[in-house]
């Protein structure tokens, strides 16, 4: 199988530094575009059952819109994906204060999260051994950036594999203990970006339980079963089928995956499956993470226009593989503290068939 990786200029940021776009291509028909600004997945082209190819992630074809406000389209989120209550936490006897950018809470790393940083390009090209095309980025986050302790070095690798999958590998190390919860925030629509809502996508999630939240979207600490609720996707059903029961106007919840949550786990396991019946596209999500935030684009309102047109409510679904929200305040949630001498390791795979 032939794979390719090409690099081109994508523009420049205010400092004058150049930004690059990397296009990964596979003979199987997948093409992924990734930029080192925010380590963002900008496009992902996938064939359908009739061999028609469409871009299945929301995004832009130029750098400038990514420099403006947008809902984290395709970005690498850090240091801490999702919410931290009260925008503060205690660690080893010290209280750390973060930016309040979501009411009283800190969301997706603060005011300038990792998806708004220029990452360094470490390596890119083709791997004949694995028949894959890849690009690897790195980011240095200094001690107390956005209020988080520790000098942190992060690596993210996007790899397009021979079996029609986009694999994302994360690695990180620190010199001081720090909370770390990385994810990718791509918005998927298997009909194609901008081609209507995702309410008729059939969804299954390998989850018997979830973390209920309060009115500020902060976990209460309870672990609740999905049985008998609108959160039960253990058998495939459409997103539409029970979305009207969700008090917040859609899904934006952390599902606890039926697996272990060790940060050193290198074996991704099945997390979720999405199927779009008109195109025949199926996306299967595997991850080493203990949870996945399912978000149905409830806050999209047409104000953002990108590839495919204006993005309206329910025009996409996110699979934010992660540790649980606000874990720094819940000792019984899986550990999110990375300490010196440890290596953060995480892998998520989006595999496609049609």
For each of the chain's 354 residues, which pLDDT tens digit applies?
A: 467 899 999 999 999 999 999 999 988 889 999 999 999 999 999 999 999 999 999 999 999 999 999 999 999 999 999 999 999 999 999 999 999 999 999 999 999 999 999 999 999 999 877 789 999 999 999 999 999 999 999 999 999 998 999 999 999 999 999 999 999 999 999 999 999 999 999 999 999 999 999 999 999 999 999 999 999 999 999 999 999 999 999 999 999 999 754 444 568 999 999 999 999 999 999 999 999 999 999 999 999 999 999 999 999 999 999 999 999 999 999 999 999 999 999 999 999 999
User: In the chain, where are the structural domains located?
Assistant: 3-353
Please tell us whether the domain made up of 3-353 is placed in CATH 2.70.98.10: yes
Rounded Cα distance between 101 and 139, Å, is: 22
Rounded Cα distance between 90 and 131, Å, is: 45
pTM summary value:
0.96
Rounded Cα distance between 193 and 76, Å, is: 19
Rounded Cα distance between 298 and 304, Å, is: 13
CB atoms within 10 A of CB 148: 26
User: Closest Cα partner for 3 from 162, 163, 165?
Assistant: 162
Strands 165-174 and 152-160: antiparallel
Q: Which residues are catalytic?
A: 185, 320
């Amino acid at each position: 199988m032939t794979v390719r990786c090409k690099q081109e200029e994508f523009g420049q940021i205010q400092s004058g530094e150049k930004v690059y776009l990397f296009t990964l291509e596979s003979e199987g028909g997948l093409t992924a575009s990734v930029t080192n600004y925010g380590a963002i997945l900008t496009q992902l082209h996938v064939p359908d059952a009739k061999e028609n190819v469409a871009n299945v992630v929301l995004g832009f074809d130029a750098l400038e819109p990514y420099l403006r406000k947008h809902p984290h389209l395709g970005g690498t989120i850090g240091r801490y994906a999702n919410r931290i209550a009260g925008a503060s936490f205690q660690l080893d006897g010290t209280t750390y204060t973060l930016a309040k950018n979501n009411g009283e809470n800190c969301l997706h790393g603060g005011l300038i999260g990792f998806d708004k940083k220029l990452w360094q390009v470490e390596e890119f090209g083709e791997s004949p051994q694995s028949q894959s095309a890849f690009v690897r980025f790195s980011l240095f986050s200094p001690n107390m950036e956005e209020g988080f302790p520790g000098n942190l070095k992060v690596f993210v690798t996007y790899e397009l594999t021979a079996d029609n999958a986009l694999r994302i590998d994360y690695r990180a190390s620190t010199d001081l203990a720090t909370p770390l919860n990385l994810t990718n925030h791509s918005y998927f629509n298997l009909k194609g970006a901008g081609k209507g809502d995702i309410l008729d996508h059939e969804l299954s999630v390998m989850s018997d339980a979830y973390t209920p939240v309060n009115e500020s979207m902060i976990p209460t600490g309870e672990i609740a079963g999905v049985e008998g609720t609108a959160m039960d996707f253990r058998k495939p059903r459409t997103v539409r089928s029970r979305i009207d029961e969700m008090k917040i106007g859609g899904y934006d919840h952390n599902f606890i995956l039926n697996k272990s949550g060790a940060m050193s786990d290198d074996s991704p396991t099945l997390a979720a499956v999405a199927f779009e019946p008109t195109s025949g596209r199926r996306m299967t999500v595997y991850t080493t993470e203990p949870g996945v935030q399912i978000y149905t684009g409830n806050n999209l309102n047409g104000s953002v226009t990108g590839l495919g047109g204006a993005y309206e409510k329910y025009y996409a679904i996110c699979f934010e593989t992660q540790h649980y929200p606000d874990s720094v305040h819940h000792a019984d949630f899986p550990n999110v503290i990375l300490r010196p001498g440890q290596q953060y390791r995480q892998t998520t795979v989006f595999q496609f068939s049609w």
